[in-house]
Amino acid sequence: MATTLITGGTVVNATGRGAADVLIDGEKIVALLTPGSTLLGTDLSAGVDRVIDATGKYVIPGGIDAHTHMEMPFGGTFASDTFETGTTAAAWGGTTTIVDFVVQYAGENPLEQYALWQEKAAGSCAVDYGFHQILSDVQDSSLHAMDELVKEGVTSFKLFMAYKGVFLSDDGQIVKAMQKAADNGSMIMMHAENGSVIDLLVQQAVAAGNTSPYYHGITRPWQAEEEATHRAIMLANLTGAPLYVVHVSAKQAAEQIALARDKGQNVFGETCPQYLYLSLEEQLGAPGFEGAKWVCSTPLRSRAEHHQDHMWNALRTNDLQLVSTDHCPFCMTQKQMGIDDFSKIPNGIGSVEHRLDLLYQGVVTGEITLERWVEICSTTPARMFGMYGKKGVLAPGADADVVVYDPKGHTSIGLGKTHHMNMDYSAWEGFEIDGHVDTVLSRGSVVVDGGAFHGRAGHGQYVKRELSQYLI
Ligand code: URP
Ligand code: ZN
Ligand code: ZN
Ligand code: ZN
User: What residues have a C-beta under 5 A from ligand 2, the ion?
Assistant: 191
pLDDT value at residue 416:
59
CA of 247 to the centre of ligand 2 (A): 7
Alpha helices in 14-80 (DSSP H): 44-47
- Say if residue 415's pLDDT is above 80: no
Higher pLDDT, 269 or 36: 269
Closest ligand relative to 451 C-alpha: 4
- Tell me the pLDDT tens digit for each residue of 420-441: 999 999 999 999 999 999 999 9
- Provide mean pLDDT across the span 129-148: 96
Please report, for the chain, the start and end positions of each structural domain, with discontinuous segments joined by +.
Answer: 62-384
For ligand 1, atom 4, the nearest C-alpha belongs to 348
pLDDT value at residue 79:
98
- Say if residue 39's pLDDT is above 90: no
Percent of the chain with pLDDT over 90: 96
- Provide mean pLDDT across the span 32-55: 91
- Provide mean pLDDT across the span 144-157: 98
- Secondary structure tally for the chain: helices H, strands E: 15, 23
Using a 6 Å cutoff on CB, does residue 419 contact ligand 1?
A: no
Place 414 in a pLDDT band, splitting at 50, 70 and 90.
confident
- Tell me the pLDDT tens digit for each residue of 208-220: 999 999 999 999 9
Residues 6+ apart with CB under 8 A from 281: 302, 303, 304
- Say if residue 417's pLDDT is above 80: no
Percent of the chain with pLDDT over 70: 99
If we measure between CA atoms, which residue out of 390, 401, 411 comes closest to residue 440? Answer: 401
**Domain 62-384 annotated CATH 3.30.710.10:** no
- Say if residue 462's pLDDT is above 90: yes
CA of 270 to the centre of ligand 1 (A): 13
Closest ligand relative to 335 C-alpha: 1
Residues 6+ apart with CB under 8 A from 54: 6, 7, 8, 9, 404, 439
Q: In whole angstroms, how far apart are CA 300 and each of 142, 201, 266, 275, 276?
A: 33, 17, 26, 6, 9
- If DSSP codes are grouped into helix, strand and coil, which group holds residue 205? helix
- If DSSP codes are grouped into helix, strand and coil, which group holds residue 311? helix
- Provide mean pLDDT across the span 346-353: 98
- Tell me the pLDDT tens digit for each residue of 297-343: 999 999 999 999 999 999 999 999 999 999 999 999 999 999 999 99
ipTM of the complex: 0.95
Q: Is cis: bond before 298, omega within 30 of 0?
A: yes
- Tell me the pLDDT tens digit for each residue of 80-135: 999 999 999 999 999 999 999 999 999 999 999 999 999 999 999 999 999 999 99
Give the relative orientation of helices 140-151 and 171-184 as an angle to the nearest 10 degrees: 30
Using a 6 Å cutoff on CB, does residue 348 contact ligand 1?
A: yes
pLDDT value at residue 43:
87
- Provide mean pLDDT across the span 195-219: 98
